[in-house]
Chains A and B, each alone.
Chain A
């Protein structure tokens, strides 16, 4: 852990995709530092590369160039196994489309994040039940995702992301599909580990997430992060 409190550091991050022999540069020199206990909101237009940036920050993908370091560990230097271990122990991700396992119940989906961590089955179950109860899903924990509303699915996804008490919480449009009341609840839930444990939260949104909940707002434009005031009239 760096002494200056920086948890996440990415430097000159670039990501290029090749589509039908054409190179598409999505990220072109992203620099970002996130401190412990900080909430950063990354906004930008649809297709700007916010989800791609979160995937790189979460170690779900490898950058074309540049580095991502979490707690001082450069992800590029880690093997796939080490990267998986980092995701399992240090990172919690809330996907835009929830990404719940369709054949697993709400409780099992939350427990999935604790499988292969060495946590005993009874403690896994206890933790999943406690989280779901806290999110108001105590009576729906044995239901399959298809039997839950979109908002409830999002709550299960948040519970899963919080299950391993991550140091870094990444959320991609966490309030995109829910009503304002549920959105407030989600914001409160995501903010609680930041306040209580000093976790860092990075949220990607195209506007659904209230910017006033953030310590810092950055705009992703032309593959780079800029302050909103520098993004121009369309920012």
Chain B
């Protein structure tokens, strides 16, 4: 076999122009494939980071219009117009530890209990809702209720902080209140530490306060039947947009009396993620096929050009196998050289071009060149080299020496 590689290498060195053209073909094909695959992987991963958490949360509650389930309890305040609400409807109560059970579900990333109670101001008679959340929880609370990033003015309560409230921006404007003011809730006053705008989150309230403070405030309204480890809403963060339906079904199985309210955008998000992955694979295959086709064309032209030489070699006793080995070795050497140089070019391009910045995805500005992709690029070139070398070589080897010598 040493003779074959020696002859192949010599042949490539002697025919520098043709070798350079073939190597350049492999180089460009591999560099393009590596850049496209890397860019697609980057794009898919960046998109997945955004889409994976798009609409991946919901709230679950037991509406009061349904008969109370076995685990549900009904508690009604003495004051008319007050009570537990969620998404505009009155609700029953569920045990707080149900959140822990929901959190254990495979499709669920996080869950937190929530109290949402509508109060009536005894002074001017206006109604407002209080949302009692766990300030230590940033995942489920942050996506369904309010988060530190929603702060418009002031600050967000610290994890263990008690006795403070946040105002929803519209409510704050209506009441002309802001950080530093105090608000009265069920006979007690609380300092306002911040104003938030949580947008259209499903567990929206007018005033947000720590869960225990909310529990105490509500108990003052419930009188003889205070809360005993209960909540009326579960805040749930799902593991991924792709398992949102599975998570909803699992929560309903766990507690059939619950109604789930979620964003519908997780569905298109999950579809887009699937489309992105599909498109990445399709483009990768197209690039691979194009690279092999280009190499094949180049090798075929080179072999046709050398038809007479092949005839001479056969005339002096080279077998079909010798001819195929020789042409294949030349093709594979060119492919290996082109593949390695193509990877180097791709690495240089990806290092210099601002592909990450061009994507516009926050926090995803760095494009990492995977060794697996580089290896796949070289492998692709070698595969192209074998296919592109074998087909014309087998064709050339089949002809009789006299035919090859006569044809020129």
Contacts and interface: CB of A to CB of B under 8 A. Distances in A.
A58 B317 CA distance: 10
Contacts of A80: 319-320
B100 interface: no
B401 interface: yes
Interface string A82-94: 0011111101010
Interface string B317-356: 1111110000000000000000000000000000000000
A115 B318 contact: yes
B319 A85 contact: yes
Given A115-B3, A115-B7, A116-B3, A160 B316 contact: yes
A73 to B, nearest CB: 15
Contacts of B405: 60, 95, 99
* Interface residue tally on A, bucketed by range: 20 to 34
B176 interface: no
Contacts of B311: 99
A60 B401 contact: yes
Interface in A59-85: 60-62, 80-81, 84-85
A55 B402 contact: yes
Contact of B315 (A81, A86, A87, A115): A87
Contacts of A191: none
* Secondary structure of the B contact surface, majority rule: helix
A61 B407 CA distance: 13
Interface in B1-28: 3, 7, 10-11, 14-15
Given A55-B402, A95-B405, A60 B315 contact: yes
B397 to A, nearest CB: 9
A116 B402 contact: no
B401 A88 contact: no
B314 interface: yes
A16 interface: no
A81 B316 contact: no
A103 interface: yes
Interface residues of B, number: 25
B317 A101 contact: no
B309 interface: yes
A61 B316 contact: no
B400 interface: yes
B319 A102 contact: no
Contact of B320 (A61, A81, A164): A81
Nearest to A166: B317
A99 B319 CA distance: 18
Contacts of A81: 319-321
B317 A84 contact: yes
A224 to B, nearest CB: 20
Contacts of B3: 115-116, 121
Contacts of B403: 61
A211 interface: no
Nearest to B6: A121
